[in-house]
Structure 1
Amino acid sequence: MSELVFKSFNLTRSSLLKNLEALDEAVVDVQPKGFNNTIHWHVGHILTVAEQFMFGFPKKSTNLPAQYMELFATGTKPADWDGDVPSLNELIGQLKEQINRINEIPEGSLSEKLPAPFLGQETFGELANFAIFHESTHLGQIQSMKRVIEAARI
């Protein structure tokens, strides 16, 4: 079962990266009507939430700058960004590095119980599975936003 979690994570992340690397830079910071954020924000959000779920960011992980919580946590938005914001290319590099670290997590740790249930998840493996679900959901948002932005340009 744990092998399936890692396989799913790699499949999802690979699809995300393929989509991101094919993006036209001009669409990344456009917030289309009906959407709360930009593609840029979604990418940083995916990275930040996966780091939280899989590595305990910001308390247990220093692989991302602490400011990512202010930029990309749930409830944040680009309209409130102030100061340095990582570029899409920087975030893509961090997503690649992160999936390498995820693949190094010992399979046995997925059966470990969480200190307390979180979002209905009771084990680290369930939380990892939820992270995959979360990433897939945001990938769908990115794909939808790209289509809406491109259609508006026609």
Structure 2
Amino acid sequence: MNYLNSQLQLTRQKVLSEIEGINPELFDIQPNGFNNTIHWHIGHVLTVAEQFLLGYPHTNHLPANYGELFGYGSKPADWKGEVPSVETLVQQLQEQVNRILAIPEERYNEKLPQPFLGLETVGEIFTLALFHESNHLGQIHAMKRVIDAAN
């Protein structure tokens, strides 16, 4: 196993552990100073990892409306229609890891069709996905602490 896969497993496990330790009543609270909820962050981590590494929305692993619900610039205040539960999103996060780990290591050196934020290869996008997920793990942790302190 390569270091990127090891880091993905570590990061995703930390995200899942953080979620597991949160009182479900807190998932949809949007504390002052935050643009989103913990529920949104969970869906966002899932959706963006799928976009960066697995070709969403051109895959059949996640529903088409996840981009509208959890994509860049979205927020719970704009949610319309049915929103997946946190339980569903957690299950999808668990399943997604296996799809990402199945990416052949030789693909990491493949050039992207066009550079993204100065990144040029699949491996570089993988590191961005890890950074992104870690950043949102921190946001989830901070939101939990702010909500707990307010109660």
Report the TM range for the smaller structure's normalisation: over 0.9
Residue 25 of structure 1 corresponds to 24
Per the alignment, residue 57 of structure 1 pairs with: 56
Structure 1: unaligned runs, 5 residues or longer:
none
Please name the residue that 1:11 is paired with: 10
Aligned-partner Cα distance in 1 for 2:53–2:115 = 15
Q: Which runs of 4+ in 1 moved over 6 A?
A: none
Amino acid at match of 2:94: K
Question: Paired residue for 2:117?
Answer: 119
Q: Deviations over 1:35-66 (max 9, x none)?
A: 0000000000000000000111002x110000
Q: Percent identical across equivalent pairs?
A: 56
| Deviation digits for residues 59-80 of structure 1 (CA, Å, limit 9, x no counterpart) | 2x11000000110001010001
Which residue in 2 is equivalent to 1:146? 144
Q: Deviations over 1:100-147 (max 9, x none)?
A: 111111111111111110122100000001000000000000000000
Distance 1:134 1:119 in 2: 13
Cα separation, 2, equivalents of 1:21 and 1:119: 33
TM-score by length of 2: 0.98
What secondary structure sits across from 1:114 in the alignment? strand
Instruction: Please list every run of 5 or more consecutive structure 2 residues that lacks an aligned counterpart in the other structure.
Output: none
Q: CA RMSD in A?
A: 0.8
Partner of 1:74: 72
Rounded to whole Å, the distance in 1 between the matches of 2:105 and 2:23 is: 37
Work out the number of aligned pairs and report it: 151
Q: Tell me the distance in 1 between the aligned counterparts of 2:118 and 2:28.
A: 33
